[in-house]
Amino acid sequence: MNIRTLLAALLGAVFLATAPAHAQGKLNVVTTTEDLASIAREIGGDRITVEAIARGYQDPHFVEAKPSFILKLQRADVLIVVGRELEIGWLPPLIQQSRNSKIQPGAEGYLDASLTAEILEVPTGQVTRAMGDVHPLGNPHYWLDPENGKRIGKAIADKFSEIRPNDRATFQQKLTDFTTRLDTAEKGWLAQMAPYKGTKVVTYHRSFPNFAKRFDLEIIGYVEPKPGIPPSPQHTLDLINEMKRQNVKLVLVEPYFDMKTPNAIGRETGAEVLVLPPSVGGVKEVSDYFKLFDYDVNLLVQAIKKTGVK
Ligand SMILES: [Zn+2]
């Protein structure tokens, strides 16, 4: 072996020793929702595999636990959650039963994506059951603002970089790409919605405060009397009267709620009743985080035009 061959062999050995990303294989990522999976895919690219637990057409507060979820969690290197107790009703026992120390809350592989996001409707003072059942730590539907999408992307890039420092440059580059594309897309969505600023709407659940704030819709009431509490006749009557008083012609319903009460409200008030997916996977056309806003903004603009009321 001459010196040149020896050097090449040594360099090869050094290269292998400093390339654990390849030796380690892909980072196995599990997210609770398809929205987080879509953003994680943007940041991780081919360096990760990613699977979501809940489907976008399911109510993320109430997901039926399945044994297959535990298997996914057993294999995960990273678990990304929406947080703010969105998943409190179903996720904690699954994490525990996975017995995977990497993804327990507080462990390096556990990421709560809400920690760096703008959270609305944070209760002040004492939180009681009278406020409703499912939003005790502020509104957990914060991904419905592309500005929060960027913050979630950054939190994910930082977490991936922490766990796989050798791939840091890749993750940070992909974050830059994602942020740039999202900035451009957001300008388009804002321009589409601009003529309809201040449009008054009613939504079934409090899924859309971040969306409404970003795109300047005014939510004047909810079909649910309180988050997680089903409609009552008295509340529905009050809501109908308020909609008539304020001339509100749009009711937005998440895909997983019963249409009976929204349709009745529509008949009484002449309002359009629109099924608006709050998540990736909510309808089949919405296959990623960009298409979520494409779809919802288009649907809203068409519906507002149809009502002739903004
Ligand atoms: Zn909710």
Per residue in 157-209, pLDDT (tens digit) is 999 999 999 999 999 999 999 999 999 999 999 999 999 999 999 999 999 99
Give residue 284's pLDDT.
Answer: 94
- The amino acid present at 150, given as its one-letter code, is K
What residue has token string 């919802």?
A: 296
Q: Residue 186 CB: number of other CB atoms within 10 A?
A: 19
Distance 221 CA to ligand 1 centre (A): 15
7, pLDDT greater than 80: no
In the reported structure, the alpha carbon of residue 150 is separated from the centroid of ligand 1 by a whole-number distance in angstroms of 21
CA 227 to centroid of ligand 1, rounded, Å: 6
- Residues in a beta bridge with 29: 50, 78
Q: How far is the CA of 140 from the centre of ligand 1 (A)?
A: 6
Residues 134-146 pLDDT 10s: 788 999 999 999 9
| Dist. CA 268 → ligand 1 center (Å) | 26
Residue 20 has pLDDT above 50, yes or no: no
Question: pLDDT-based confidence at 8, cuts 50/70/90?
Answer: low
Tokens of 190: 């804002």
Which run of H or of E encompasses 76?
none
Which is nearest to 60 in space by CA: 12, 107, 114, 123? 114
Assign 12 a pLDDT band (cuts: 50, 70, 90): low
Percent of the chain with pLDDT over 70: 90
Would the pLDDT of 18 be above 90?
Answer: no
- Residue that the structure tokens 């409609």 belong to: 231
Mean pLDDT of 31-45: 98
Give the Å distance between the CA of 84 and the centre of ligand 1. Answer: 10
pTM of the model: 0.91
The string of DSSP letters for 182-204 reads HHHHHHHHHHHHGGGTT-EEEES
CA distance linking residue 212 with residue 191, whole number of Å: 15
27-31: strand order across its sheet: 48-52, 27-31, 78-81, 110-112
